[in-house]
Amino acid sequence: MCVFCQIIKGEIPAYKVYEDDKVLAFLDIKPVNPGHVLVISKNHYQNMESISEEDLSALILVVKKIGAKLKERLGVSGYNVIENNDAISGQIIPHIHFHIVPRIEGDNLLQWPGQEYKEGEAEEILKKLKN
């Protein structure tokens, strides 16, 4: 059984910051910065494509609530919302979850580097994705 499902069932303890019938939010045990929260669906879905729209809506609304609480109650001026989708992107636990990472001045967290499209590449990708 996945570790998040075990947390939901109460088999593994967690520092819960929010819970309702569809969503659980708790402190990450290895935070990037203090206040790093994981927001998970109580129903097991591996990734973004498999989650129902209803459960995804519930999940993202809690992400919004927790983000606001980080700003209001911890005094952070911003945060990153990250969802690693499948192993190639860095998803370690195959249960959809969002990281809310408070940003602190001078925390030295880097954004990924951007790159230029090759000649005609953007147009080709657009054709594949549009419609």
Sequence ranges of the domains in the chain? 3-105
Whole-number pLDDT of residue 88: 93
In Å, the largest CA–CA distance within the chain is 53
Q: What is the DSSP letter of 119?
A: T
Which of the residues 36, 95, 97, 99 is marked catalytic? 97
Task: Report the alpha-carbon distance of residue 20 to residue 28 in Å, rounded.
Answer: 18
Residue 95 bears catalytic tag: no
Q: What is the DSSP letter of 15?
A: -
CATH number of 3-105: 3.30.428.10
Task: Summarize the confidence of residues 28-43 as an average pLDDT.
Answer: 97
Task: Report the alpha-carbon distance of residue 119 to residue 117 in Å, rounded.
Answer: 6
Task: Report the alpha-carbon distance of residue 105 to residue 77 in Å, rounded.
Answer: 9
Which positions ≥6 away from 15 have C-beta within 8 Å?
A: 26, 27
* Least confident window among 10-19, 68-77, 103-112: 103-112
Q: Is the pLDDT of residue 12 over 90?
A: yes
Task: Summarize the confidence of residues 100-122 as an average pLDDT.
Answer: 92
Tell me the whole-structure pTM to 2 decimals.
0.92
Confidence band (pLDDT; 50, 70, 90) for 85? Answer: very high
Q: Does residue 122 sit in helix, strand or coil? A: helix
